[in-house]
Every structure is written in C-alpha cells, then in structure tokens.
Chains A and B, each alone.
Chain A
Amino acid sequence: MTEIIDHLNALAERVLQLAEGDEAIVTAGRSDHGLTRFANSFIHQHVSDESTMVGLTLVRDGRVATTATTNVTDDGLRALAMSAAATADLLPADPRWPGVAPEVILDGRMVPANEADPQRRATIVADFVTAGDGMQAAGYCDTSEVTHVVATSTGSRLVGRSTRATLDGIQQAGGGGATAAGSGHRTAQGLDDLDGTSVGALAAGLARRGLDRVDLEPGRYPVVLAPECTATIALFLSVYGFNAKSHAEGQSAIEVGVAQFDAAITLVDDPNAGHGFGLGFDVEGTPQRALPLIDAGVSAALVHDRRTAAAAGPGVQSTGHSGPGSAAWGPVADQLHLAGGTTDPLDLVAAMGRGLVVTTFNYCRILDPKTMVVTGLTRNGTFLVEDGRIVGAVGNLRFTQSFMDALAPAAVTGLGNDARWADAEFGPALAHAPSLALQSWNITGAAPR
C-alpha cells in the first residue's frame, strides 16, 4: 500500500521535474480490478487487470495540452513531457485557462486495501446462484482499488485511495414461454459486506412474483421506485442539471435558489462520506467538501471545476468536480446522497391506491436536457398495485417522463428508509438513494416478453 503511494509520488515528482512549462498538473494513478462474471448459473468470465497511468497538463505561454501514458519508465515519462510541450506549442493560447489551483497538501481518504481474491468473489457468486434454487442466474461480483496522486507546479500534493466491491445479478424464473427476471444489488467498500445469499434471494423473490402477469394500458400512474431507479434520477440531475458548464450554456433546467423540487427532496454530493467512494479531491487538485445540491426542495448550488468557476465570475470557487473529460462535458458530482425518509418501502406501497412498483430502469436516454425529459424502460420486476397490494407483474414498460416534473413540488408522496448505494444508469457507487414514491409517472408503452 505504502509502496504504491511512494511509487506514484515518485512518478509525479519526476514528471514535474521533466515538464518544461509555466504551470503543470500531474496525476498518477494505480488501478487494480478483479471481476467474476456469471451467466446461465456458472462462472464464465474471470478477469483481473492492473494499470498505472500518468497524466500531465502543461501550460506554456498560455497554451494548454493534456497527455497521458501507461509507459511509466523514465523514457516513457520523458516522452510524455516532451509530447505535452510540443503539443502546447502548436496550439493557440487558451483564454479561459483558470490557472493551477493554489497549494494544498492533503492526505485524502485512505480506505484500507481491498481484498481481490478471485476465490472469495466466486464463493459470493455461488451463494447468489444457490439462493435462486434452480433459477438461471447471471451477473457479476467485482472488486476495485484506486490510488491517486495529484502534484502541481504550485506545490500541491494530494493523495487518496478508494476501494469498492459490488455484487449485481439477476435470477430468471419460468420457462416454456413465461419468463421473468428479478435483480439484486449491493455495493460496499469491501467483499466482507457483500452477502450473496441475501442478494440472490431478493432477486429470486422478484423473479417469482414476475411470473404472475397482468396487462396494463399506457398512461400516468403513481409509482414507488426502488433505490436503483432513484439513483438514476439523481445521476441525470447531476449530469444534465447541476453541471455548471451545461448551466452556463443555458442547457440546464436548474435555477439556483428556486424551489424546483418537492420539499422532501434533499440531495448532497459528499465525496468524503465514510462509507463512500470518493478520493476527497479532484484531478485539478481541489479538495472536495460536502455540497448540498437540493436543500429541502430548493436548488442550492452548481458543481464547478476551475474553468466553470472562473467563467462564473468573482467569488465563485471550484467545488472540486473536475474529472477526465470535464473540459468538454463539464463538472459532474458522482458521490450523491439523496436523503431517505422514515417509511418502510412496503408502507410506501401500501399507501398507494392503484399504481406501479418499479425495481430498476434500463437504457435511459435524455430527449432534452432543458426539460429533463427522459425515455427508458423498466426491468427486472415491475408490479401493479391495487388498494395498496401487489396484484401482479406487468412486464417491462417504456416511460417518457420529465425527471424535473416527477420531483416537482407536491409530486413526492414518500421516501423510504432503505437508502443504500444503488446501481444507476451510469454504474454502481455513484448514488446513495432510497425508495421514492411519486404521484405520477408517464408510461408510454410495453416491451413484449
């Protein structure tokens, strides 16, 4: 562990020595990933990969170039520095370069090293499969460990490590025409917190209930959305709404200071949460803090990197949300916490007259960021509720729904007490979210089974 950090620090210092320019930001990262995939109830792919990457952003006479390499030999680092300099010299000056962040010395989050033993992952997968009691199971269990160093020409030195372990899978019930799938998901910092049996049993229960089909006409329905769905909504709000670049270009639906959401909604980005997955700083070397994005229904803040902050004017600071590609896509918050409520999710369902319970979303795509209208499908368990009780499964449904309208004032009817790290459209470990009860969700079609 210390050896890796020392190695990354040495690489970063060496690149700073080699970088010939006015300003420089060096990132050095080490990633170790292990994955056990299963399908048709057996392990069919078992993967491990490791990589070390060094990146350099170099400024020469106001010209900015960014280069990266996995060749971390001294020759490779020299080539990296030379390439950055040669590239910068060929470009026009960047009038919006905000300068390198002021000096910060930070030992960021240091989560203990992750266990990446493939046998442990395989055992957890076996527990998941066994819990299906003969159903066809598919999914994955993986572990990752990322250690990152940022060193800048202003003297900043930041280091942090994050670990993650995820179990995500489906059980498929039935056969001979009628089939149904249910899903289960858990993400934690290590394998010790993943229980294959309970996640597999959850998925199996949803799959069994899914076999009992009833028909449903398109239209607007009250819904109880499970955490996977809620997490996806939070991520879309982050990517398309609270992104300061999108906002500056007039493409965001967010109006800071306006009560755009139901008063029950509070959304915070907290990269330092003890159970989370942030490093505590961004690739520009800006430390991160908890940032309320929605405070009791009121849009509270945008997320910035140094470019968007500088463009926003005096007094606006980076919130530490620069990432790879954010120069083009804008800064994005990805350690989101949507505050949960006190209600058992089953009571959210019981409080609904006629409506739907949705387990996960699938293939969500935005039609217009300004309205936040999104189309997608439900998957792995969608159920019809009448008089507060599930009366049958309705298969996978297509929806076309504005996420802003869905969470608008007086549109939220309840929040579950089951907030957890949920799998979202863009992956796991990005949003900690509860079940969410909404007055209306626009179903526009169904997928045949």
Chain B
Amino acid sequence: MSTAFDQATRAVEAALAAGARYADARVVHTRTRALSARNAEVESVDLGDDLGIGVRALVGASWGFAATSDLDADAAGRTGAQATATARASAILPGGDLRLAPLAATVASWDSPFDQDPFEVSLSTQADLITAVTRDAAAVDGVAVATAHLQFWDVRKWFVSSEGHRIDQRLVSSGGGMQAIALGKHETQVRSYPQSFGDYRSGGWEVIEAFDLPAHAVRMGEEAVALLSAPPCPAVTTDVVLDSSQVAMQLHESVGHAIELDRILGWEAAFAGTSFLDLDQLGTLRYGSVLMNVTADATMPGAMGTFGFDDEGTPAQSVEIVDAGRWVGVLSGRDSAHLAGLPPGGMVRADGYARLPMVRMTNVGLLAGTSTMDELIGGIDYGVLMATNRSWSIDDRRLNFQFGCEIGWEIKAGQLGRMLRNPTYTGITPTFWAGLDGLGNEELRRAWGIPNCGKGQPMQTMQTAHPAVPARFRNVEVGVTG
C-alpha cells in the first residue's frame, strides 16, 4: 500500500523529471470539529476531513504549484508534473535570480503535545458545555443573544523535498469562547471571553477546560448589559492601558504583518500590501520605546503558532524582532531570506495541502516588563483602560491603525473609575509604540491564539499566536466615532 511519503516522493520525482530545479511535496490530512451554541441550544456541529497533496516546483525564478484531493495511483506524478508546467508558464514575465537559502536535509518526526485528544472527547460533553454557558449568559436580564463555540484541529503532514527532507508532523490544537450581546435602541454591546472570537492553543481538551468558560458566562452577560447605559469613551488624546488580548491584536497588525519579509520585498503589494519597513533600516530603525522587545518564537510550548518544522522543512526557531525598541529581525522563508541576505527564519507555512506555502507569523510576542496591573494604572493621571478587541483596521503599509474594544474604564488619579462604552483608539505605528512606557510582568503574560490570520491570493488562513502583557501607552487619540 502506498504511503503518504511514497506519494510525496513520486510527486517530487515527477516535478524534477519535468524540468524543475527544486521541488517539494506535502501530503496533508486535516481533521476538524466545530460546534456552536446559541441561547442554550446547539446551533451547528460540523466535522471535516480534508486530504490531498500539494506540490511546489521552482523553474527559473518562478514557483509553480499544483494540488489535488484526488489521491488515485497516478495523482502524485500527475500533480508533480503539473506544478512544473505551471511554473514554466511564467517564462513570459521572468523574475531575477531566485535561490533558496541553504538548509541541511532533515529526516524527522514531530508531534505537538496534548493531554487529552479533543476528538476522543464525547460530542455530547462538548455540546453540553457550550449550551450551558450560553444558558447562563442568556439568563442575565437584558442579554439578547449568547453564543459559544469550540474548534478542534488534528493536522498530519508528510513533507518530502528534492534536497532530501523527509519530515512528518502532527499538530493538534483547540480553542473556543463565548459572547454575550445586549441590544439598545440604536446600538449593540458585546462582551466576549476569553477574547473576541475565542482563544486558541496548541493542545487538546485540557485547553478548553483551562478556559473555565462557565465561570465567566454571567459576568459577560452583566457587562454587556451595563455597557448600554455606560457613558461613551470621550474623544481626547490621553494615556491608555490595553489589556493583554488587545496588545496581542496591536502586535498582530502593527508588528507581525509589517515584519513579513515577503511584504517588505513587495510580493504581496497588490492585496495584503507592503510594509513601512525598509531592509536598509534593519538594525537601526526605532520601532518603539526601549521597553519594546519582540520575538517570533515558533518553539513556545502550547502556543498556537508552534510547530516542529515549517512547510519548507526549516526547523522551528525563535528570532529576535525588536530589541529595546530597535528593529532587528523579520519573518522569512528560504527564498525571501536569501534575497535579503539573511538566514531562513522557518516561517513559511500553507493553509492545507491546496495552497502555496508563504511567509506567516509564528508566535510574535512582546516580552514582559516588571509592572503589576495596579502599577500600570497607578501611573496615569487621566486615561482609559481598554479590553477585548471589537474592531480592527490598518492601512496597507501597517502604519495608520484604528482599533475598537468591547469595554473601557476611565482612569482618574491612578484609580479605575466608571465603565466606558465604545472605546476606540487610533495612531501611527512607530509613534504609538514610542509611547509605550509600562509593561506588565511575566505573571501577566499570555499567548493569545488567532486561528484565522488572513493573507495571500487565494486567501489563506493561518494559526498564529501573540504572547502579550498589559501595556501602558502615552498620548493616544481615543474616542474616534463615525
């Protein structure tokens, strides 16, 4: 019987026989389970089983890629040859010299750890959990809609390259969350836990148990209702403290995407955009204050952007991105790293078998400082504490951003005061990060998972995470409204 490695090997051989100077192939089998509940009823249960092969071939300076879910006897060879033929069609508009940064061939196997396989946990147990928390939240007077969801992935990959790589991996991840919605005459107010759209980690059912959703259901409902009568966030320039989940979103949009080397090189200019960063400034550009230290660490245990090897066979690693406010690193793959004269960062991944691997965030995280939450707040004469992202938008060079949060609290004389509704803030990336003057300590650090970071054409979603702490920023424009 043909194994996944056999099929991947045949595909690579076929691509080379058709004229590719390099080829790799991934057989990917993705199992998914997704449950959602609304107002104490199961809303949907969806199971997915997705298996196929994707082949990448390099001809001249162009990648060709072909994929199929058809794994009959001839599929691997056919798809390999097609990848090369597709790459060859690029000759009408050839690029410059494209090489791959050197990488030792690896034969390895890697599994992400988990305690309890989420696919072995009874669906009824999982359904009972989310129906119960939505029942509790919906029971709060004034809550119109309470929702909860769970998502699980079990991804197996078999990777073979023409340079001798032969790697298999298994990545199990879990996540979910809940949301309570209260309706006013002309507005909606929302509270989410652990964060908007939920939180996600590498791991099994224990991830969900650690969230302890039932303990937070009533509070989410009560806060959503209270927001309806809270005063609006004032439109002022002031100091803010962001909770760690919002700092994670800030990192994602204004750091994570900006440091993707393919964007910096212009490869994503038309859709995702470029970056305000220029490689000539690497090592000298001031990204933020001296408190700002950022790493991209794909080896962090339990985080959503953790793996053993990326989809080019490069081992996972931790790369320094911002050192005491100075920009020092990028996210890269073998081709982009070689162009930039850098070592490959091992950050190239694909969304399933049917997509071309590209530079993606791993765990792009802000290192902790020394402050407690009380100390961060205590250092503000007047300002706003904002928590839990509600909206996000940033321009194509990752400079002008505007975020909305679900909830805010006024800070006066170093003390938390009244609740504020519709808190928003806006800024320009390096100016905003230059205003960073307080960081939460290690105990407050948490790796917030994002299951659906979007990039590429066709759109690929990817699992990433952002270790973050609460942080204080000076002179921020808040209260932007339509």
Residues of A participating in the B interface, judged by any CB pair closer than 8 Å? 33-53, 64-72, 76, 79-80, 83-84, 87, 90-92, 94-96, 118-119, 121-123, 125-126, 129, 136, 138-140, 142, 168-170, 172, 181, 183, 249-251, 327-328, 362-371, 373-377, 379, 396, 398, 400-402, 405, 427, 442, 444-449
Given contacts A65-B45, A80-B49, A327-B43, contact A49 B67 (CB under 8 A): yes
Question: Which residues of chain A are near B267, meaning CB under 8 Å?
Answer: 39-40, 44, 138
Residues B45-93 near A (CB distance < 8 A): 45-52, 54, 61-70, 82, 85-87, 89-90, 92-93
Question: Which residues of chain A are near B426, meaning CB under 8 Å?
Answer: 398, 444-445
Question: Which residues of chain A are near B131, meaning CB under 8 Å?
Answer: 92
Instruction: Identify the interface centre among A45, A67, A172, A376: most chain B CB within 10 Å of its CB.
Output: A45
- CB < 8 Å neighbour of B122 from A90, A121, A448: A90
- CB < 8 Å neighbour of A444 from B49, B144, B422, B480: B480
Provide the main secondary structure of the chain B interface.
mixed
- Min Cβ gap A129→B in Å is 6
Contact A168 B46 (CB under 8 A): no
Q: Is residue B400 contacting chain A, with contact meaning CB distance below 8 A? A: yes
Q: Is residue B237 contacting chain A, with contact meaning CB distance below 8 A? A: no
- CB < 8 Å neighbour of B45 from A66, A139, A446: A66
- Min Cβ gap A27→B in Å is 13
- CB < 8 Å neighbour of A44 from B52, B63, B276: B63
Q: Is residue B342 contacting chain A, with contact meaning CB distance below 8 A? A: no
Question: Which residues of chain B are near A39, meaning CB under 8 Å?
Answer: 266-270
Provide the main secondary structure of the chain A interface.
strand
Contact A140 B270 (CB under 8 A): yes
A36 to B87, CA, bound (A): 10
A49 to B85, CA, bound (A): 13
A-B interface pairs (CB < 8 A), number: 272
A41 to B186, CA, bound (A): 48
Given contacts A49-B67, A328-B43, contact A375 B123 (CB under 8 A): no
Residues B427-465 near A (CB distance < 8 A): 428, 457-459
Contact B270 A138 (CB under 8 A): yes
A69 to B69, CA, bound (A): 10
A129 to B480, CA, bound (A): 40
- A-B contacts, 18 of them at CB < 8 A, read A40-B265, A42-B93, A43-B92, A71-B49, A91-B45, A138-B269, A139-B271, A249-B183, A251-B181, A327-B43, A327-B44, A328-B36, A362-B395, A365-B393, A367-B424, A379-B395, A400-B480, A405-B482
Contact A94 B63 (CB under 8 A): no
- Min Cβ gap A300→B in Å is 22
Contact A140 B457 (CB under 8 A): yes
Instruction: Identify the interface centre among A87, A123, A400: most chain B CB within 10 Å of its CB.
Output: A400
Residues B332-389 near A (CB distance < 8 A): 354-356
A345 to B11, CA, bound (A): 52
Mark B171-206 against chain A: 1 for CB-CB distance below 8 A, else 0: 000000000010110111000000000000000000
